[in-house]
Structure 1
């Protein structure tokens, strides 16, 4: 069977974007061109790869299995062709990163700005996503996540702060007339502003002191997804309740006095984030340049 990489690339773009219109927006090809390429591939393969309705486009079982094999295979083809990039004085191409909201909010900006100044021929595409994704299946070269969420077969390079803490805080207005918190379990009697991951998980608040770990699962008037943490901060400043978030995120509110630290001697310290990417023989030149840059940036 003769292969047409263009048809395969069109199939992968539609599958990853979950639709022809979104694939057209991100790939630069028209929806009709992508549709024609997918039809040619289906005719060649002799099976339907997508179930199409007026409202949605979903993979068939055959399409799902093809995508699972195709993503790493085309990634290797792209990386192999990218080898010639290493012979340029300055690498060029597109680097696609999948990062959590906390990375985009707290520490990526100066790294990205310095990297793009050093490599003007590289285009960087950032996707902010708090779920743990297969970076290749998501069409990305690498991702940023914390150590407990890294898969063992990934290469991990430190990025950003090496130690961080979760802080607990509330506004002076909320604390007025209320007893001061002395133990994490006291939070069960307070209104607390919670955050939920896109997966639906809402982890408990964790504290540690003198080797003792305490986890509490408080309730309150507001729950937001982690990507909307700024709304949680605004709610805490407005006096709606107690917040539990990265210390760096709350630092401006601490400095202005809009929020007061609570239970500070119980705050947990944990390892900072990592850039992670799959181990493979050929690394795309833009990613290789970024990894080398991180080693010099620290």
Structure 2
């Protein structure tokens, strides 16, 4: 029975990670052991659970149905085993967080090191993903998102700065050559460096002043995937290629050094900072409980 349970965990790790190599990395085992576990499970059940190609590993219809039922069931098993953690002097185990790139860059650096020093027996597994995901189905214990992207029926705890701003900036050389916009709509006549979500959507630039909201959809010479390649756009702005619109904290070092000059600052929009969110169940895994208490203490 122990082997069967391990095989179920292995199968779910592969499905959630969408691959044997990625599943091995997430579960702390080897790809070959996961492959063997899935083969044993398929043989025992007499049905193929995964479609394997050289490019992808996807569940069959039977595999998808099984994974859907296993997520809550194996979650309860892990919760039951985690009860033992309350008898330890210090919590141990893995905490899996799903966060957007902005949080990984701007919020977590000041939190991760002191947390792991305070809890050296906890391993933190950070999955950076800007698209909206079902945090539990993805095999994560908690996520960090902004309020408009929070999942329902979750507990939300403020983490990081409570307010942030989007900043607009360009290099002094660019502005001296092209002029300084006085209104957001002036950006329609400028070279703007844009970002794109994984879905393909390109978010408009939003500005606000005295209750007036202005949204513009400018064009420019560079389009980058948000999160993965934002630094490329920042360096392009510093190099004089065009105007950038991004989290103020991301641009702050370049604003302070003078490499970038603020543009339309009275129009910069303020928004609520991120939240740590997690299921509102009675028993939290010990690593997550420790992280929640650590964040609350700060």
Q: Partner residue of 2:215?
A: 215
- In the TM superposition, what whole-angstrom CA distance separates every residue of 1:236-288 from its partner, at most 9, and x where no partner exists? 00000000000111111111100111111111111000011122232100000
Q: Partner residue of 1:267?
A: 268
Q: How far off its partner does 1:3 sit?
A: 8.7
Distance 1:57 1:111 in 2: 34
Q: How far off its partner does 1:108 sit?
A: 1.0
Q: CA RMSD in A?
A: 1.7
Q: How does 1:120-269 map to 2 (within 5 A)?
A: 120-227=120-227, 228-269=229-270
Distance 1:150 1:137 in 2: 15
Q: How does 1:39-188 map to 2 (within 5 A)?
A: 39-188=39-188
Shift >4 Å, 4+ stretches: none
- In the TM superposition, what whole-angstrom CA distance separates every residue of 1:9-57 from its partner, at most 9, and x where no partner exists? 1111111222223333443444343223212222333322112234432
| Unaligned stretches of 5+ residues in structure 1 | none
Shift of the 79–267 alpha-carbon distance from structure 1 to 2, 3 Å rule, reads same
Distance 1:170 1:32 in 2: 50
Q: Partner residue of 1:296?
A: 297
Distance 1:112 1:183 in 2: 40
Q: How far off its partner does 1:127 sit?
A: 1.5
Distance 2:17 2:165 in 1: 35
Distance 1:58 1:163 in 2: 40
Shift of the 120–4 alpha-carbon distance from structure 1 to 2, 3 Å rule, reads same
Structure 1 stretch displaced more, 282-291 or 44-53: 44-53
Distance 1:268 1:120 in 2: 39
Structure 1 stretch displaced more, 2-11 or 249-258: 2-11
The TM-score normalised by the length of structure 1 is 0.94
3-state DSSP of counterpart to 1:213: strand
Shift of the 192–115 alpha-carbon distance from structure 1 to 2, 3 Å rule, reads same
Structure 1 stretch displaced more, 19-28 or 186-195: 19-28
- In the TM superposition, what whole-angstrom CA distance separates every residue of 1:122-174 from its partner, at most 9, and x where no partner exists? 11111121112212222211111100000121111110000011010000010
The TM-score normalised by the length of structure 2 is 0.94
Distance 1:254 1:28 in 2: 41
Residues paired across the two proteins, number: 297
Shift of the 119–60 alpha-carbon distance from structure 1 to 2, 3 Å rule, reads same
Q: Partner residue of 1:38?
A: 38
Structure 1 stretch displaced more, 22-31 or 119-128: 22-31
The question of whether the paired residues in 2 share the 8 Å contact of 1:76 and 1:282 is answered with: no
Distance 1:45 1:231 in 2: 49
